[in-house]
Structure 1
Amino acid sequence: MISATFRGALLCTVLLLASACAAEPPAAGELTPAASSPQESSGAPAPSPTGEVMTSDNVKHVAHIPRTAPLDGEEDFNTDLAFQGDYAYVGNFGGFAIYDISDPAKPEIVSQVSCPAQQNDVTVYGDLLVLSIDEPRSGEECDSDGESREWEGLRIFDISDKKSPKYVSAVRTDCGSHTHTMVPHGETLYVYVSSPGPEPESDTCPPPHELIQIVEIPTKSPKDAKIVAKPDIFPERQHSDLASGCHDITAYPEKKLAAAACFGDGVLLDISDPIKPKVLQQLTDTENFQIWHSATFNNEGTKVVFSDELGGGGQATCDHNTPATKGANAVYDLVNGKLERRGYFKIPREQQENENCVAHNGSLIPVPGKDVMVQSWYQGGVSIWDFTDSAHPKEIGFFERPPYPGGELAGSWSAYYYNGYIYSSDIREGLDVLEIDDPLTDPAKQVKMDDFNVQTQKKY
């Protein structure tokens, strides 16, 4: 999702959300785990203010954990997810939370860290947790505020003690970090930083911004993290009047490939040398795509799904007024080293005019020999779809709530499959756990992952 609050009027035209373009950021909190007791669960999902959920016959809603203090303020939106062992990590504009998911039907809060900043997209690697900060703050630590605009970038935490995460260090990056992608390389963790820009009058986001930034984090000395490269990955001008830079990059280290969604373009990269990515192909589709938002490889690395976040996440684009090729997914086959577009996928369930809905964050469901994906669509809910036939993708399951009261920004921000269950981070509702019981996806239950950061794909 594009946050307009701190990228200026340029991106406010994309979001069209009064709350996002006018609201002040959340007040700064202290870096301490929230005093919270484990959530009580009877095995049935807790009620929500929107009423009963709707699902396809093959999808079951097995758990729901609402946001709780200190991460339940009006602007404390839940964001991205990461997984490690029996834990799920949930980003939030107010900080981040760690859940024990050893029993997926009864998730329990382990700790919550108050560390306000927009995005707070999260990844985990070993004992390290990294947050994306896409909002100028007065300083790098969690007690900073948004009144002065001096710093934005990455924050790094030690999560060896899940009950008491500790702030370690931070790295300032141009235009902050909207999202980031981990590329492990021996004892060094490289992080590709994606951010929108420029903002000409800003101290933290100067023009030009035709680049990505690569941060090096020594895993044995994370306090020494630093920027090591700023590659310009655009052989041609970006085809967007909205912003430059990239929104999201997905790396597939085993294939030595990465796919970058860069607002006006899609870019296929060779990452054989992780600090010197080489452009293999640059894609442009000004007819169907407004914001190249994210990318997902299939397991064999022979396809890429690019999504278009038409309207920046704040508009109702899943209605009869919006073509099926806009605010959707485009499926590309990789043929002789070049991507060729085959088809589009958009949820078939029409949404109401007050429901923000567009293609957003998703991941593969690890079905050997098939290409199946689960994906969030904001108030369009969670969709499970099959793109094995690239030219004719189809939905096979869904989960959806009624419209959120007041027509506010709401819905599923990220929906990922992890060890037999689907986890959805809902902007306002909290954490949902879903189970799909379908002959097509049942083989995925035999695939076990030790950890999962969706932007760093691994072959299963």
Structure 2
Amino acid sequence: MKKKVFLNAVVAGLLVFSGTGTAVFAHDEFGGGEEKGENLAGVELSVPLLEGSKNVGNLKEVAAVPLKQIREVKNTTGDVYGYKGYAYLGTHSANGGGGGVRVFDMKNPSNPVEVSYFAAIPGTWQEKVIVKSVNTPNFKGDLAAVSVQKVDRNNPNAKGGFALYDVTNPAQPKELGFWEDTSGSRGTHELYLTVQGNNVYVLTANCYADFYSHGEKMDVNIVDVSNPAVPKTIYEFDPRDYIGEVSNENYDGYNWTDEEGVKRVAFAHSVKTDVTGKTAFLSYWDLGTIILDITNADQPVYLGRTDFANEVQGAAHSMDLAKGGDVLVETREVFGPTRDGFESAYGYTMIYDIKDKTNPKLLSTFRTDFTEKIPGGATVHDPKVHGNTLYLSHYSGGVRTVDISDPSSPVETGVYIPSKSNIWGVFVDRNYVLASDIGSGLKVLQKNSGTAKGETK
């Protein structure tokens, strides 16, 4: 990989972003304190709140299951993923981490049973897990890719990166391989597992790898895991090589001064592909969602990116696709709604037409109305699309469902807020909705009757 030389060096820790010199911390690493989401107290409600219409009118909580303790430690949850009748819950960094991925048998959605765990690596936490069936000359079965981050970035005894497991039998996971991030960052924050025929790849979002390594390593890697025992990096994405507004002079891997002279933040937070595995979407904070053609995974082609108005805090956190891949849903995580020179707003959802991926066009935005009701938890987090319904995790704002039959006019159709809500992730699997509550574990929401237009059970 080519070495970068920064003409305007910045000392780590002295990260000033606003034009007036006010420190604005965009993400957990440089914000100090606990991992984002962990420090939200949640809102105590006398009973869970459930309201809505269409398919969510009859949505009800059918299970709320806490995590078992490992090593007599109470772990908090990360993201949630469903596959072949099992729920996979990542865990967070509270109480020293080491909680691994928890596997729940969902044969009876009203009684999920925790049957196993894996990747419970001391000194690390495992937020994201993706599971897919693969068939290569080296491995055939169900493969799980798990993000691994160090709780203490400077711990010499911990390794960050991602782990690979055979979960063909989810009750008996088997470790296959490990890919180590050597950039000096905590490791892989989010990742995505994608399949192109006999080729299997993991895309990584190693937040701040570029910054900590002074350009020696990049935030986004494409790793060939067709042989899970021997993961091999085949590509690293450097925004300086593709985006004219980004150069060594105005970007150090984290701090970025845009073409209007606005001081912003840019780093890879999340990665995903379309169903073909040939188009990648990189959620790159104030650089927006970057779109790559990865038909040739070792030689990606830059297509385009989403953009923000000058007064909008960027913070492209994660995304999903709708309308057969022609519509992109982008969630923006903004905990600090007040910043000089910008609109006053917590993070909200932006919906783009990407039929022409070289020129994404903003169709609409979706904002909730509970900013004053739930201070500190009023930002959107992750999106999942199922048919014409958008499901959003909203921390203390719970799970929100939005009708996007007309993407230019999204309409909120339901809200689920459990007591002390702190919803990190959401996933739609068959006829139920899985939600990971950071403090209390797995929530299962059953879709009993009624179906939104275009949605199948």
Instruction: Give 1:436 shift.
Output: 3.8
Higher mean C-alpha displacement, 161-170 vs 375-384? 161-170
Aligned-pair identity in percent equals 20
Partner of 1:13: 25
Label 1:12 to 1:264 Cα distance change in 2 as closer, same or farther (>3 A).
closer
2: CA distance, partners of 1:349 / 1:150: 40
Measured against aligned partners, the alpha-carbon deviations of 1:59-118 in whole angstroms (never above 9, x if no partner) come to 3111111122028846x3311122221111111132110000011121111112332423
Deviation at 1:347, TM superposition (A): 1.9
Residue pair 1:361, 1:375 contacting (<8 A) in 2 also: yes
Question: Which residue of 2 is the match for residue 415 of structure 1?
Answer: 426
Which stretch has the larger CA shift, 415-424 or 169-178?
169-178
- Aligned partners of 1:230 and 1:111: how far apart in 2? 34
**Counterpart in 1 of 2:138?**
none
Return closer, same or farther for 1:12/1:68 CA change in 2, 3 Å cut-off. Answer: farther
SS of residue in 2 equivalent to 1:18: coil
Gap change, CA 1:392 and 1:112, over 3 Å in 2: same
Amino acid at match of 1:303: V
Check the 8 A contact 2:329/2:383 in 1, yes or no: no
Structure 1 stretch displaced more, 382-391 or 350-359 = 350-359
Indicate which of 325, 329, 333 corresponds to 1:305: 329
Between 251-260 and 302-311, report the one with greater CA deviation.
Answer: 251-260
Pairing 1:369-448 to 2, within 5 Å after superposition: 371-402=388-419, 404=420, 411-436=422-447, 439-441=450-452, 444-446=455-457
- 1:147-174 per-residue CA deviation (whole Å, 9 max, x = no partner) reads 3276311111222332232322211123
Give the whole-Å Cα distance in 1 for the aligned partners of 2:194 and 2:188.
Answer: 16
Name the Cα RMSD after superposition: 3.2
Whole-Å Cα distance in 2 between the matches of residues 358 and 440 of structure 1? 27
Q: 3-state DSSP class of the match of 1:254?
A: coil
C-alpha distance after superposition, 1:380-430 (max 9, x if no partner): 10000012222321100110134x4xxxxx611111111011100111110
Checking the alignment, whether the CA contact within 8 Å between 1:324 and 1:346 is kept in structure 2 is no
Q: Does 1:106 align with 2:111?
A: yes
Task: Decide whether aligned partners of structure 1 residues 162 and 150 sit closer, same or farther in structure 2, where only a CA change above 3 A counts.
Answer: closer
Counterpart of 2:60, as a letter, is K
Q: From 324, 332, 339, give the equivalent of 2:352.
A: 332
CA distance in 2 between partners of 1:135 and 1:287 (Å) = 35
Amino acid at match of 2:312: N
The structure-2 alpha-carbon separation of the partners of 1:363 and 1:235, relative to structure 1 and needing over 3 Å to count, comes to: same
CA distance in 2, matches of 1:133, 1:73: 18
Question: What's the secondary structure of 2:313's corresponding residue?
Answer: coil
What is aligned with 2:66? Answer: 66
Q: Give how far 1:255 is off.
A: 7.9
How far the C-alpha of 1:235 sits from its partner, in A, is 1.7
What's the offset of the Cα at 1:354? 4.6
The aligned counterpart of 2:148 is 133
Matching residue of 1:55: 50
Letter matched to residue 330 of structure 1: M
Q: Which has the higher contact order (CA 8 A, sep 6+)?
A: 2
User: Which residues in structure 2 correspond to 1:61-210 (within 5 Å)?
Assistant: 61-70=61-70, 73=73, 76-93=75-92, 94-113=99-118, 114-116=120-122, 117-126=124-133, 127-135=142-150, 147-148=155-156, 151-173=159-181, 174=183, 175=185, 176-198=187-209, 205-207=213-215
- 2:232 alignment counterpart: 226
How far apart are the structure 2 equivalents of 1:377 and 1:107?
Answer: 23
When residues 172 and 206 of structure 1 are mapped into structure 2, their CA distance, relative to the original with a 3 A threshold, is farther
Residue 292 (structure 1) shift: 0.8
Uncovered stretches (5+) of structure 1, i.e. residues with no partner: 1-6, 24-47, 139-145, 405-409, 447-460
* Unaligned stretches of 5+ residues in structure 2: 1-11, 16-22, 93-98, 134-141, 258-262
Q: Which residue of 2 aligns with 1:452?
A: none
Q: Give, in angstroms, the shift of residue 131 of structure 1.
A: 1.0
**Could you tell me how far 1:362 is from its partner in structure 2?**
2.3
User: Residues 284 and 135 of structure 1: is their aligned pair in 2 closer, same or farther, counting only changes over 3 Å?
Assistant: farther
Q: TM-score, normalised by structure 2?
A: 0.75
Q: Is the 8 A contact 2:147 2:188 kept in 1?
A: yes
Contact 1:376 1:415 in 2 (8 A): yes
One of 217, 228, 236 as aligned partner of 2:225 = 217
Q: Are residues 358 and 420 of structure 1, via their aligned partners in 2, closer, same or farther at CA, if it must alter by over 3 Å?
A: same
For the 8 Å contact 2:150–2:158, the answer to whether it is kept is no
Once the two structures are TM-superposed, the CA of residue 283 in structure 1 deviates from its matched residue by 2.8
Residues 261-270 or 226-235, more deviating: 226-235
Alignment-derived partner of residue 449 in structure 1: none
Aligned mates of 1:349, 1:66 — CA distance in 2: 27
- 1:188 partner amino acid: N
Shift of 1:441: 2.2
Q: Classify 1:171/1:385 alpha carbon distance in 2 versus 1 (closer, same or farther; 3 Å).
A: same
Provide the C-alpha distance between the structure 2 equivalents of 1:183 and 1:12, rounded to a whole number of angstroms. Answer: 35
**For the Cα contact (< 8 Å) 2:145–2:162, is it kept in 1?**
yes
Following TM superposition, by how much is the alpha carbon of 1:332 offset from its aligned partner in structure 2, in angstroms? 0.6
**CA 12–121 in structure 1, closer or farther in 2 if over 3 Å, else same:** farther
Does residue 356 of structure 1 match 2:377?
A: yes
Equivalent-residue separation in structure 2 for 1:254 and 1:411 (angstroms): 33
TM-score by length of structure 1 reads 0.74
CA contact (8 A) 1:375 1:416 kept: no
CA shift at 1:177, angstroms? 1.1
Count of residues in correspondence between the two structures:
385
Please say which of residues 437-446 and 245-254 is displaced more in the overlay: 437-446
